[in-house]
Amino acid sequence: MNTPRGKALQTVMAVLEEGAYSHLALRHALQDANATDAAFIKQLVYGTLTYRRSIDYLLEQWLSRPLASLTKPIRNVLRLGLFQILYLDVPDHAAVNESVRLAHKVGHKGVAGLVNAVLRRAVRSKARLPWPETDSAAYDLSIRYSFPEWMVERWLRRFSPAETEALCIAHNNSPDTDLRVNSLRTTVDDLLQELQTADIPAVKHPLVRNSVQVAQVSLPELPALQQGRCTVQGAASTLVGQVVDPQPGQLVYDVCAAPGGKALHLAELMRDKGRVLALDVHAGRLSLILQAAERLQISSVETRCIDATKLSSQRWELAERVLVDAPCSGLGVIRRKPDIRWHRSESAIQELAALQLAILAEAASLVKPDGVLVYSVCSTEPEETTQVIASFLADHPDFAPTHWPEQLAQIWGPELQDGCLYTYPHRHGLDGFFICRLRRSM
């Protein structure tokens, strides 16, 4: 079980059978793995978790008894094996033989034979898989692309079946790694040159300035990262800071700041001149901001531990810019956190929307007259986005949607509506984000 596939099996079992968090279970599995094995283990684990519903549906078509009746190790050996056959670029014979070898270790000769038979049938069926064809587009898409049916139903209410399918596909595709250039230390062109010298393929992001797209490679040893010339941050997240558009010398609040990527970006945009006050309810996570600030050589960021729903319990100096990057369902970043689809519920979205509105209302009290309040979430669900803004504006007539900075408006103008923007993985190649820019009246 000390092979990459064995470690992947243990990790998948921990997540699917014991309720472990994938990133924590993976951390344990990768402790002693070299870079090549670690990459393969992560592929196996995240891929199997991503396509779990599709895999289970197909296995049920080929098994003579319910999948649930098999022992936990054997059903997960089958899941890992089928993922390799259908979704991973490995030879079919290797996927089958290694799965059978694993089955011998965790079961007896009979179940190893079952694994062999089922996976060989899968190989023969690859060209014509038995996907469902029913009157329910939500059900069919949820099985084919492995999403909870309720989630697909929500998307079908907003998009056509064809666009919903495109969104599902985009959520299942692994994204590139985005690097935010630390403009205090280097330039995009210089960072690209540094990456090219290191034989790391990279390009300027086509929609977000100061962001660089890097092909999926291991980056921890990259000198530019270690020495603070850049930091890993999704391009849509980088766009949020640019919408805030803080100016040198201003006071800026980031009220849900940890782990600090956006707060530090705000400081960079201000040329590290002024004050960025990073607030968060989790004291331990605030230390991550200070560690990152040291690496990036930023001195204008301060931290304070406070619950963002209780900001009005203290006195604050009013600020020119306030950012609320609120806790959310995270359904816009499924491609980066594939198993999040299985940890969310529709009722949780409603609960989060109430929290988001409460935080936004509290944060509004920190904004100076003529100051800017930016609201963002890594979700595109209406309850967490436009509905939060509509409720907030109904209760706060001194705020109104405002124009975006000119450079951003030139790029996004046709898609901006009342100071708000949705980004989507299938339309823009960006994570699913919602960003709204509001201004307080004089």
pLDDT in tens, 12-52: 999 999 988 888 888 888 888 888 898 899 999 999 999 99
pLDDT at 142: 98
Q: Would residue 43 count as lying in a domain?
A: yes
Asked if pLDDT for residue 217 goes beyond 80, the answer is no
Same domain? 277 vs 391: yes
CATH of the domain at 112: 1.10.940.10
Residue ending a domain, choose from 104, 125, 146: 125
Domain membership flag for residue 131: no
- pLDDT band per the 50, 70, 90 thresholds, residue 116: very high
Please tell me the predicted confidence (pLDDT) of residue 343.
87
Q: pLDDT at position 109, please?
A: 80
**Between residues 150 and 338, the one the model is more confident about:** 150
Co-location of 304 and 434 in the same domain: yes
Contact predicate 399/348, CB 8 Å = no
Residue 221 maps to a domain: yes
Q: Supply the pLDDT for residue 294.
A: 96
Mean pLDDT to the nearest integer, 68-91: 96
Q: Give residue for tokens 């823009």.
A: 428
Tell me the sheet residues that pair with 214: 177, 202
- Residue 173 belongs to what H/E stretch? none
* Residue 260 pLDDT > 80: yes
Q: Is the pLDDT of residue 304 over 80?
A: yes
pLDDT confidence tier of residue 338, bands split at 50, 70 and 90: confident
pLDDT at residue 218, as a whole number: 62
What's residue 215's pLDDT? 82
Task: Give the whole-angstrom CA distance, residue 321 versus residue 241.
Answer: 11
Which position has the higher pLDDT, 411 or 1? 411
Mean pLDDT of 149-166: 98
Beta bridge partners of 234: none
Same domain, 278 and 407: yes
Alpha-carbon separation of residue 168 from 37, 244, 268, 434 (angstroms): 28, 30, 35, 18
Point out which residues pair with 305 in neighbouring strands.
280
Q: Clarify whether residues 283 and 393 are in a common domain.
A: yes
**Mean of the pLDDT values across residues 6-17?**
94
> 247 and 144: one domain?
no
Q: Is residue 130 part of a domain?
A: no
- The answer to whether residue 361 scores a pLDDT higher than 80 is yes
| Domain assignment of residue 207, yes or no | yes
CB 299 within 8 A of CB 272: yes
Which CATH number is 383's domain given?
A: 3.40.50.150
Q: Using an 8 Å Cβ cutoff, are 249 and 274 in contact?
A: yes
For residue 191, the domain's CATH number is 3.30.70.1170
Same domain, 45 and 117: yes
Q: Output the pLDDT for position 110.
A: 84
Give the Cα-Cα-Cα angle 345, 326, 354 (nearest 5 degrees): 55
**Residue 282's pLDDT band (boundaries 50, 70, 90)?**
very high
- Let me know: does 214 contact 178? Beta carbons within 8 Å: yes
DSSP characters over 222-278: -HHHHTTSEEE--HHHHHHHHHH---TT-EEEETT-TT-HHHHHHHHHTTT-SEEEE
Instruction: Give the orientation angle of helix 22-29 with respect to helix 4-18, to 10 degrees.
Output: 150
Rounded mean pLDDT, 136-142: 98
Cross-strand pairs, 230: 181
pLDDT recorded at residue 222? 86
Q: Tokens 């560690």 — which residue? A: 291
CA dihedral 241, 245, 250, 254 (to 10 degrees): -30
**Strand order of the sheet with strand 211-214?**
202-204, 211-214, 177-181, 230-232
Residues 6+ apart with CB under 8 A from 182: 228, 229, 230, 231, 268, 296
Q: Is the dihedral of CA 224, 227, 230, 232 positive or negative?
A: positive
pLDDT at residue 220, as a whole number: 63
Report the alpha-carbon distance of residue 84 to residue 90 in Å, rounded: 7
Are residue 157 and residue 249 in the same domain, yes or no? no
Q: What is the pLDDT of residue 198?
A: 87
What pLDDT, on a 0 to 100 scale, did the predictor assign at position 410? 95
Output the pLDDT for position 107.
Answer: 84
**C-alpha dist (Å) from residue 314 to 55, 153, 258, 310, 365:** 52, 43, 20, 8, 11
SS3 372: strand
Looking at mean pLDDT, say which of 102-106, 269-273, 343-347 comes out highest.
Answer: 269-273
Asked whether residue 273 falls in the same domain as residue 333, the answer is: yes
What is the percent of the chain where pLDDT is above 70? 99
Asked whether the bond before 327 is cis by omega within 30 degrees of 0, the reply is: no
Domain count, the chain: 4
CA–CA separation, 73 and 105 (whole Å): 10
Residues 166 and 204 in one domain: no
The pLDDT-based confidence of 216 (bands split at 50, 70, 90) is low
pLDDT at position 12 is 95
C-alpha–C-alpha distance, residues 294 and 287, integer Å: 11
Residue 394 lies in a domain: yes
CA distance 430 to 411: 14
Mean per-residue pLDDT for 228-241?
97
pLDDT of the residue at 19: 85
**What domain range includes position 86?**
4-125
What value does the mean pLDDT of the chain take? 95
Among 47, 39, 14, smallest CA distance to 28 is for 14
Q: Which of 328, 378, 420, 436 is catalytic?
A: 378
Residue 69 has pLDDT above 90, yes or no: yes
Identify whether residues 13 and 109 lie together within a single domain: yes
Specify whether 161 is located in the same domain as 225.
no
Confidence at residue 27, expressed as pLDDT on a 0 to 100 scale? 87
Of the candidate ranges 16-20, 310-314, 385-389, the one whose mean pLDDT is the lowest: 16-20
378 given a catalytic annotation:
yes
Give the C-alpha separation, 416 to 404, whole Å: 9
- Each residue of 186-199: b (16+ CB within 10 Å) or e? bebeebbebbeeee
145 and 58 fall within a common domain: no
